[in-house]
Structure 1
Amino acid sequence: MVKRDLRTRYKGSFLGFLWTFINPLLQLIVYYVLFSTIMRINVDNYAMFLFVTLLPWIYFSTAILQSTNIIISNNNLIKKIYFPRAILTISVALSGLINMLFGFVIVIFALIIFKIQIGISIIMLPLIIINEFVFVLGLSFLFSALNVYFRDLEHILGIVTMAWFYLTPIIYPINMVPIKYTKLFFINPMTSIILPYRDVLFYGLWPDVKVILLSLLSSIFILVFAFGVFDRLQRGFAEEI
Structure 2
Amino acid sequence: MLKKIKEIMAYRQMLESLVLTDLRTRYKGSFFGFLWTLLNPLLMLMIYSLVFKYVMRVQLENYTTYLFIGLIVWTLLSQSILSGAGAIIRNSGLVKKIYFPREILPLSVVLGGAVNFLFSLLILIPMLIINNISLGISILLFPGILLIYLLFVLSITMIVSSINVYFRDMEHISNILVMAWFYITPIVYTTDMIPDSLQSVFNLNPMKVVISSFHDMFFFNKLPNTGDLIYLICVTILLLIISSFLFKKLSRKFAEEI
Counterpart AA for 2:150: F
In 2, the alpha carbon distance for the partners of 1:153 and 1:45 equals 38
Indicate yes or no: 2:68 matched with 1:45: no
Please report how far the alpha carbon of residue 104 of structure 1 lies from its aligned counterpart in structure 2 after TM superposition: 1.4
Counterpart AA for 1:139: I
Partner of 2:175: 158
Partner of 2:254: 237
Please report how far the alpha carbon of residue 19 of structure 1 lies from its aligned counterpart in structure 2 after TM superposition: 0.7
Please report how far the alpha carbon of residue 224 of structure 1 lies from its aligned counterpart in structure 2 after TM superposition: 1.9
Indicate yes or no: 2:94 matched with 1:77: yes
In 1, the alpha carbon distance for the partners of 2:230 and 2:34 equals 34
Instruction: State which of 35, 41, 54 in structure 1 corresponds to 2:71.
Output: 54
In 2, the alpha carbon distance for the partners of 1:194 and 1:140 equals 18
Q: Tell me if the contact between 1:119 and 1:205 (Cα under 8 Å) persists in the aligned partners.
A: yes
Counterpart AA for 2:159: L
Instruction: State which of 31, 44, 47 in structure 2 corresponds to 1:14.
Output: 31
Bigger CA drift: 29-38 or 117-126?
A: 117-126
In 1, the alpha carbon distance for the partners of 2:118 and 2:234 equals 23
Instruction: State which of 115, 120, 124 in structure 2 corresponds to 1:98.
Output: 115
In 1, the alpha carbon distance for the partners of 2:26 and 2:169 equals 25
Please report how far the alpha carbon of residue 136 of structure 1 lies from its aligned counterpart in structure 2 after TM superposition: 0.4
Counterpart AA for 2:164: N
Counterpart AA for 1:228: F
Please report how far the alpha carbon of residue 73 of structure 1 lies from its aligned counterpart in structure 2 after TM superposition: 1.2
In 1, the alpha carbon distance for the partners of 2:149 and 2:234 equals 11
CA deviation profile, 1:2-24 (whole Å, cap 9, x unmatched): 12222332233222211101000
In 2, the alpha carbon distance for the partners of 1:66 and 1:11 equals 15
CA deviation profile, 1:75-108 (whole Å, cap 9, x unmatched): 1111222221111111011111111011112111
SS at match of 1:127: helix
Q: Tell me if the contact between 1:63 and 1:140 (Cα under 8 Å) persists in the aligned partners.
A: yes
CA deviation profile, 1:23-65 (whole Å, cap 9, x unmatched): 0010000000000111111111110010111101011001011
Indicate yes or no: 2:101 matched with 1:64: no
SS at match of 1:129: helix
Q: Tell me if the contact between 1:131 and 1:193 (Cα under 8 Å) persists in the aligned partners.
A: no
Partner of 2:189: 172
Aligned length: 241
Instruction: State which of 160, 181, 195 in structure 1 corresponds to 2:212.
Output: 195
Partner of 1:25: 42
Indicate yes or no: 2:223 matched with 1:219: no
Instruction: State which of 138, 144, 148 in structure 2 corresponds to 1:131.
Output: 148
Partner of 2:130: 113
Bigger CA drift: 212-221 or 31-40?
A: 212-221
In 2, the alpha carbon distance for the partners of 1:9 and 1:162 equals 21
Bigger CA drift: 118-127 or 89-98?
A: 118-127
In 2, the alpha carbon distance for the partners of 1:6 and 1:173 equals 32
